[in-house]
Structure 1
């Protein structure tokens, strides 16, 4: 009995020492605070269909839970202060925050809650619910998994969210992109 046990232990030790044999431990899901320190929540629309106009938000809170071993498993929750929008043009910013678009006075918060969904034969998607301008509806993001950042992008149709003003000027689509850094920056790593 003891001889078998020693041979069994010796077998496993030999196998572990064998070149090329790797034991991979499954990483546990990790929850990251989503904040302006590690995340960019931005968008782009095209004026007259071809002139890009970008904006991003500077005040928001949330959390992101990711499984480093499986990009198809994640969850996210984010609350954005609508009035924290920054755009390069002051007139465009005034219009974007006004009643015809984001209506920051009556709807001071944007909210998103979602989870990743693995799709057979396709990249996983982040599917969830957006609350904006007093409306609630589904919004799916394409997921671009990576070790350094969690990047999602989506196309939002303005008219579906009650922002149909100035269709020739601003078009109907807004391209959303959210990037959350998963690895600490050089400054954070030094502390």
Structure 2
């Protein structure tokens, strides 16, 4: 679905942050990581990674309100670096990945929040449950990558409650609040 979006024009000039129009970027799953971290009974703060993100970022430097993001995260790519725990997370006790194979985020509003910062409000869907989420975003860099493709990089953070998405097993002993950190790089695909 996301790959059918029409790509906008490239950067107005190499090395500048100004755009003539919104630019549409395809997320690079090799340079995108979504990390979730929580408290485990107060003893430790384990983390889990969601890889293979598929998504589209539209960024308009002159009118950030015209920017948007849509991302899909396949739950098959969850990785806590412990195979048995990964199986449990994918089970019906938590994400029920057989029934709900992916999570998604779609922005509803993008606002400037200071120099190089954005506030992105959107809808997060996990297990078929959609809730509003606000991402605090930092623009890392806009320019060309090694392949001479216009590229953009962002970091973002938010905190969600597991119980809001019916993945609250053991809450509140295992913290209901989960801190999410996202780092992503996205490029304008080369013309075929």
TM-score bracket relative to the smaller structure: 0.7 to 0.9
Q: 2 CA distance for matches of 1:78 and 1:58? A: 11
Q: 1:145 to 1:60 in 2, by over 3 A?
A: closer
Other structure's SS at 1:94 match: helix
Q: 1 CA distance for matches of 2:48 and 2:69? A: 21
Choose which of 44, 48, 67 in structure 1 pairs with 2:37.
44
Structure 1 residue 128, shift from structure 2 partner: 0.8
Superposed, 1:96-111 pairs within 5 Å as: 96-111=89-104
TM-score by structure 2 length? 0.72
Q: 1:32 to 1:94 in 2, by over 3 A?
A: same
Structure 2, unmatched stretches of 5+, are 1-15, 143-152
**Residue 30 of structure 1 aligns with which residue?**
23
**Residue 64 of structure 1 aligns with which residue?**
57
In terms of Rg, which structure is larger? Answer: 1
Q: Which moved more, 1:118-127 or 1:72-81?
A: 118-127
Q: Is 1:140 aligned to residue 134 of structure 2?
A: yes
Q: Is 1:117 aligned to residue 117 of structure 2?
A: no
Choose which of 111, 123, 129 in structure 1 pairs with 2:123.
129
**Residue 188 of structure 1 aligns with which residue?**
none
Q: Is 1:81 aligned to residue 74 of structure 2?
A: yes
Q: 2 CA distance for matches of 1:160 and 1:29? A: 34
**Residue 153 of structure 1 aligns with which residue?**
157
Q: 2 CA distance for matches of 1:79 and 1:43? A: 16
Q: Alignment length, in residue pairs?
A: 161
Note the alpha carbon deviations across 1:68-116, whole angstroms, 9 max, x for none: 4565652111111112111122232122111121111111111111054
Q: Is 1:163 aligned to residue 157 of structure 2?
A: no
Q: 2 CA distance for matches of 1:145 and 1:50? A: 34
Q: 2 CA distance for matches of 1:120 and 1:41? A: 22
Other structure's SS at 1:47 match: coil
RMSD: 2.7
> Does the CA contact (< 8 Å) of 2:75 and 2:102 recur in 1?
yes
Q: Which moved more, 1:89-98 or 1:128-137?
A: 89-98
> Does the CA contact (< 8 Å) of 1:74 and 1:115 recur in 2?
no
Q: 1:71 to 1:150 in 2, by over 3 A?
A: farther
Other structure's SS at 2:141 match: coil
